[in-house]
Each structure stands twice: as structure tokens, then as C-alpha cells.
Structure 1
């Protein structure tokens, strides 16, 4: 019983897309018969091999339901009960998770200014202090987002510099990788080249934004952080009883090149949209377009007109800034329609 226009696509979020057909087929294939629950199944066992092929032989993957859950579990694994997490002011964990890292995990977040969403060593240093002060939450983790919430991408050498700074202070490095595939597509590098190989300790790996029904994974790159993580996942309400269906999706995504195909397509459509609108009078592109997001500022009247035709989010309403996201199923025609509508809205002024 279809209750929506199955041909409609917007630019609100890559979460709004459907399930990739290859992932949907993998779910159907995994559906026969019985398998042991809570991860003691053939698919979750196979998933470990798949993740190690991308992140190295020491990686261990813990499937979870969603990105907020992945971040909460990962940050708990890397912190003591009195720990704090340095993150960007725009970090999803700080802005868009309802206070879950603080409410559920009991961790203090220490947000710092970032440049187009990217942390710098200088910014981190503002809060990476007071380690021996019992009156202050102890900074124990630096949390990066790759690609960032503003659509930009860290280069491997930038992550290495942050990891070296953090490790010199006995801090861990967590990477929120809700759009890790988009970062890899932009960089043209394997996943381990800007995670394992440059000092990242653990990753929240995203699948939902790249064609999964639901499902992310906490990927532990430093085996020392495995201790108790299975219990943290359970106590954080992220342990799936029918885990084979999370694992089967992630296997479909990662065992071949589906993860990269979808990300490359989404990135390419964002680049096309950027090309189509960047020179329109009255429109300004706010941040470099490196992944699958285009941030623009527009006059209020033009934004209101576009909202009548397309679904997207206003990012900074006071500044007239909007975010346009592309996905694995965005088409060139979708981009053309938005670009032409923006041209008309600005021309109408």
C-alpha cells in the first residue's frame, strides 16, 4: 500500500532516500530460516572479515541501530566516567543528538570553533587542558566528523596532525563517519588511509545515509578499546536481537564497491548542483563543496519560493542559509529542476 509519491525526491537529507535495491535484495536473501540472535549469526561473523578488509586486521565491528547510538557507544568506550569530548561546534554529537552523549553516556562535550566544520589543532588546544584539575571534566577524546556536517573533508595529513596532538596528551581520536564513504569518494583513497593509518582509534561507520534501511557500526581500530564494548552496546539499547539483518546490509554495502558507487554518485550530483547555481546573482555558496552537501545563502523571498517546490532544511535561518543534500538516487533531472527554480526565484526578485 503505497502512500507517497514514489517518484518524488527532495534535497533535505540523504536519510530521506529509500533502500538501495542491492541492499534490499541482501535483506531478502538473509531472511530464510533461523539464525542465532544477538550477533551469534553467520552474517555478523562474515562482517568482521569485511570490515577488516577496509580498516586492517585489528579492526572489530559492532553493528548498532543508528548514528547517535554509534556515537554514544563509541565515546563511552573511549572515556572514563569523568571524561570529556572535544568536538566542533557544528558536530552532530553536539547539535543534533538531543544531548544523548551527555544524558545517556554522562559525558561532557567541549565544543570549539571549527573552520568550515573542520577542527584544527589550535582549536582543540583551547579545551585540551586542565587534565589534573579535579574541578574540570577531563578531556579524553577528540571527536572529528568525516565528511563534516558542513560538507567538507579532512585530508589524511590533517587527521594525522590532530591524532598526534591528541595521543601526546593521552587522548583518543574518534571519527564520526556517518558520511565516511563520501569522504573516501572525494579523496580517492581507501578507508584505512584516513582512519587506521593516521591514528584514528575508533569510528562510527555510517550506512543509513548510503542506502541502508538502518544500521551503522562502531569500528574499533585499537583493540584496547574492545574491553566492555559489547556491554556498553547492550546498556545503550543498541544491541539488535536479529542482528543478521544489520550485518547483511553492511556486507552488501562493503563487500564490493556499492559503498563507493553510491557515494561517488551523490558527490557528483552535489558538484553538478554547485556548478549550476554558484554564479546565480543573489546566491552565495557558504562552504566548499567536497562531499554531497551544498550550503547556500539566499534572500528570504527566494528561499520561501523554493520551499514551496522542494523539501530542504534551512541551516541558519537568520542568515538565509540553506542546505541542499544529494543522495545515491538523486538524478541530474532533480538537480536541473532545483537549479532552474533557484534561477527563477532569484530572477523574480
Structure 2
């Protein structure tokens, strides 16, 4: 086997923080600043999100993605005036499959999981739960939560999200977008601020969980209430669900560093490009089965069972579907061309 890459392909969560983020945290560390968001860094962060979305959005900084999702959904649920509402999502969504039941336990509400082979909800799928409305024996669909990009690395087009929002609003529902990897989606769909707006505020999304941790932050996320009226009470809800940072300046400084000069889009684009390069290098290797080209920064190849463990011991990655001998390879903002080429060489060598 050749030398293993310096950076593995397990997850963008395994990557370190971008130097600009570290520098921003060090700068924010000077002197004293009032706690709980009454600091200059957080005021700047709030202004940056308004500029980013081109509207007077309300943003709330949080510690992590699960917390951002829970706080966003809890606030939105409060606007529905009753705990009898449910959240509609796909069976692949992070809130359903990877958050240990946090939304259900914390919110005390039901998730209606819709089977979706590509992890995307369509207007027709959403309409399939419409028969629950007005029937006192059923929870009432109140929120639809989508993920962009999805856990399967697929993307909604702006038109698809707009159509879904139109249907949801006609059904009296709120639209939440889980954007843990929103930078990857923005880069893949056009790579500009206008791109972001096209599938969020312009499409009719009401609230966004805006991810930073998977894209160069030490650990910082934000809830962006695109509809400011939906943000009423969000400061209290954030505290209740333990997502109010005391020394918020450090989290806000991370987000400021990423939002400055669109660094967040640049990093998402690089991560996507490395996945595309890896796909190009391994797709023709006998024994590697890949379906669609990667849309963002993840590949889901099928490999011969005997090579998976030794390949993982050489350079770590996660299983995806053990029954299908399918694994997941992910690139990150700091993945290099050399990492990709070394990993591809290892795959080729072990399958030779």
C-alpha cells in the first residue's frame, strides 16, 4: 500500500478549524465583553446575516447543529399555538435518524417520516399527509423540515424548494431548512450569495439552521429566522433548550470569519471539488461501484466485502449500509489534492 493520506475521508466533522477562524477567536479573546450576546462580535454577526440574506432576518447563534435544529423547530412550533402539531420530514433527515430523538423528546411532538429514496420531499409527498388536517384523532402537520444538501448528498433545486414552500404554506405549514452543509449546497448550485437566497428567502423558506462546524468552524451554528415574525420568543426558547452561549463572542467571531468575503462558500466549493476529483480517480477501478456523480462532498461506493476493513485500517472512513457493502467517503474544506490522489492510489492498490 502507498503512504496513507494526511487527512482521512471519514467526515467533514473530523476536519480542523480554518486559520481565519482561529485568528478571529484569538482576536475576540482580548479584554472583557458582556455575556449572552451583548458584545460587538455578535452585533456584527447579526448584521452580516442580514446582509447575507438581503433582509432584516433575525439570527440566533448556537453551539451545534442538533441544538440549532431543536431551537428553530421549538420556536416555530410555538407560533402554531398548540402542542398538537407534527413535523414532517424524510426518513433520512438528520432530525429523524441522527439526533437520538432530540426533537421528539425536547419538543414533545411527533415526527412524520416520509420514505424518500433520494432523501427529498416533493409537494406530492407533502400533500399525502393533508388528510390529517382537521381530524381530532391525528396530530396536525405544522412544520416541514428539509435538508439542503440531504444526508444522501442530493440537492434540491431552488425551483423544487419554491414549489414545496408554496404547497406547505397553502397547507398552513412552516418550512424549516436544515443547512448543516449549506455552504456545500450554495457552492454546488452557483457559488454566490444570490444562490443562497434563491433556495432560501426567495424560495419561501421560513427558518434556516445555518451550519458552520462542518465548514471550517471550531463549533458554531446559527438559526436564521427568514420570517422575523417567526422569531418572536426565540431568545427564550434558545435558553430553554440549553443553546444560549454565555461567552457568545467566541462563536460569533467564528461565523464572522466564515461570512467575511464569502469564505464559507469558497470552503464549501473546495470540499465539493475534492469529492469530484476523488470520484474521477476511483470510478474506473474494478470493484468500485458508484452510481451518480457527487453533487456535493460525499461519495457512497460499494466495495467487495474483504477489502473494506483493511482499507479502513489504512485510512479511516465509515460504513454506510453494511448489508449492501456500501461505505461513505467524505471530503472537507482542508482536503488536499494530494490526500485525494493518495487515497485513490490506496483503493486501486488494495483492489488490484
TM tier relative to shorter chain: over 0.9
Q: Is the 8 A contact 1:87 1:142 kept in 2?
A: yes
Match of 2:216 in 1: 211
Q: Is the 8 A contact 2:48 2:256 kept in 1?
A: yes
Q: Is the 8 A contact 1:10 1:310 kept in 2?
A: yes
Match of 1:32 in 2: 30
CA deviation after TM superposition for structure 1 residue 121, in Å? 1.7
1:308 aligned counterpart, secondary structure: helix
CA deviation after TM superposition for structure 1 residue 287, in Å? 4.6
Q: Say what the alpha-carbon RMSD is for the aligned residues.
A: 1.3
Note the residue ranges of structure 1 that are not aligned, 5 or more in a row.
1-6
For 1:127 and 1:36, the matched residues in 2 are separated by: 47
Match of 1:4 in 2: none
For 2:303 and 2:93, the matched residues in 1 are separated by: 24
2:107 aligned counterpart, secondary structure: coil
Q: Is the 8 A contact 1:266 1:328 kept in 2?
A: yes
Matched pairs, number: 341
CA deviation after TM superposition for structure 1 residue 21, in Å? 0.3
For 1:253 and 1:90, the matched residues in 2 are separated by: 28
1:241 aligned counterpart, secondary structure: coil
Note the residue ranges of structure 2 that are not aligned, 5 or more in a row.
none
1:199-278 map, 5 Å:
199-278=204-283
Normalising to structure 1: TM-score of the pair?
0.95
Normalising to structure 2: TM-score of the pair?
0.94
Match of 2:150 among 128, 148, 151: 148
More relative contact order, 1 or 2 (CA 8 Å, 6+ apart)? 2
Matched, 1:192 2:194: no
Instruction: From the superposition, tell whether residues 288 and 175 of structure 1 become closer, same or farther in structure 2 (CA, over 3 Å).
Output: farther
CA deviation after TM superposition for structure 1 residue 286, in Å? 4.2
Match of 1:68 in 2: 66
For 2:130 and 2:308, the matched residues in 1 are separated by: 40
1:1-349 map, 5 Å:
8-79=6-77, 80-188=82-190, 189-190=192-193, 191-347=196-352
